[in-house]
Amino acid sequence: MKPNHGIIDRMFAVVKISGKQYRVSPQDIVDVDRVVGNEGDILNYTDVLLVDNEGKVLVGTPFVKDATVKATILKQFRGEKLHVRRYKSKVRYRKTTGFRASLTRLQIQSIG
């Protein structure tokens, strides 16, 4: 494995999708909270917080001006089931519930 000493070889951006921040590069595949759309739809995100283009860093206040991230919806699916358990000692209280998040798989096409 080649050490990179903190230098990333390819372009990346930090983008806000569904209220959360993701570090993405072109051709990355990212699972995010459910986004409205069908498989194959192309989405443009303008809430780009940071862009690093081969060492040249642009930081937004709060967003980078004229920066967009283009992504394609690959799949709409539900995540793994999480089991949530509650327990109180000495009173015989036990409760179990489950939760499955609705997710969308995106492929990042370009950062511009």
Q: What is the pLDDT along the chain (112 residues), one digit of tens a residue?
A: 445 555 545 899 999 999 999 999 999 999 999 999 999 999 999 999 999 988 889 998 999 999 999 999 999 999 999 999 999 999 999 999 999 999 999 999 999 8
Number of domains in the chain: 1
Residue 62 lies in a domain: yes
Helix (H, G, I), strand (E, B) or coil at 81: strand
User: Does 36 reside within a domain?
Assistant: yes
The answer as to whether 19 is a domain residue is yes
Assigned domain for 90 exists = no
Q: Is residue 86 part of a domain?
A: no
Considering the domain boundaries, does residue 89 fall inside one?
Answer: no
The confidence score (pLDDT) of residue 37 equals: 95
Q: Yes or no: say if 78 and 102 are a contact pair by the CB < 8 Å rule.
A: yes
Burial profile 9-45: b = 16 or more Cβ within 10 angstroms, e = fewer: eeebbbbbbeeeebebebeeebebeebeeeeeeebeb
- Distance separating alpha carbons of residues 25 and 66, to the nearest angstrom: 17
Residue 91 within a domain: no
- pTM, to two decimals: 0.81
- CA dist 88 to 78, 83, 93, 98, 99, Å? 31, 17, 5, 18, 21
Flag whether 25 is in a domain.
yes
Structural domain span for residue 68:
12-72+104-111
